[in-house]
Amino acid sequence: MLKRPGAGNHLAVREGTAFKVGDVIETGGASAAQLTLADDSFMNMGPGSAVRVSQFSFDPVTDRRTTIIRLIEGKTRFIVYKLRSPGSSFRVEAGNALVTTGGLADFLVLTSLGQAELIVLDRGLKVKNSLPYVVGEVRVEVNQRTIVQEKSPPMVPVIITPQERKNWLKDLKQN
């Protein structure tokens, strides 16, 4: 389902449906979706998830992107597999977590009960709390996870097991 600000109604999402900055894309309890951005990065949304494209710009001439995605609820995998020019950024906001990468990344984010859990599948990311008075940032590397709770800095990253990695990916596999 796609909610467009000011549109007043919801649009059904099908393959090829275009979305814009400000749109909220939701999956039902038994559905999943893959969203592809113009810079070729993409998101695999799990069942019962919702994201808002808060900001997106991509200039193919300068090969520069600026992306801000808000994970409102649920579980989503973010895959940034093409390196762009210096100054490019890709940011995900989930609960009180701010996740940023300037380069390549493959990571999952789960929001629930006032916290965000993040698992890195490839490369590394910076994670901090979005509240300006909460001090602390961690770097999360491959096969590590961290949790950001309300009004707290991110927890020290811990190693995930192969089974935990497999379980995280199970609901996000796209056919």
CA–CA separation, 65 and 90 (whole Å): 8
Which whole-number Å values give the CA distances from 38 to 50, 57, 71, 84, 137, in the listed order?
A: 20, 9, 19, 12, 30
- Are 119 and 145 in contact, with CB atoms under 8 Å apart? yes
CA–CA separation, 144 and 33 (whole Å): 25
Which whole-number Å values give the CA distances from 14 to 7, 28, 85, 89, in the listed order?
A: 18, 13, 32, 28
The string of pLDDT tens digits covering residues 1-46 is 888 887 667 777 778 888 889 999 999 888 888 999 989 999 999 9
Quote the percentage of the chain above a pLDDT of 90.
62
Q: Which candidate, 165, 134, 131, 159, places its Cα nearest to that of 146?
A: 159
The pLDDT, as a whole number, for residue 4 is 82
The domains of the chain, with CATH numbers, are 2-170 (2.60.120.1440)
CA–CA separation, 115 and 87 (whole Å): 29
Is residue 170 very low, low, confident or very high in pLDDT (cuts 50, 70, 90)?
confident
The string of pLDDT tens digits covering residues 129-142 is 999 999 999 999 99
Taken as a whole, the chain contains a residue count of: 175
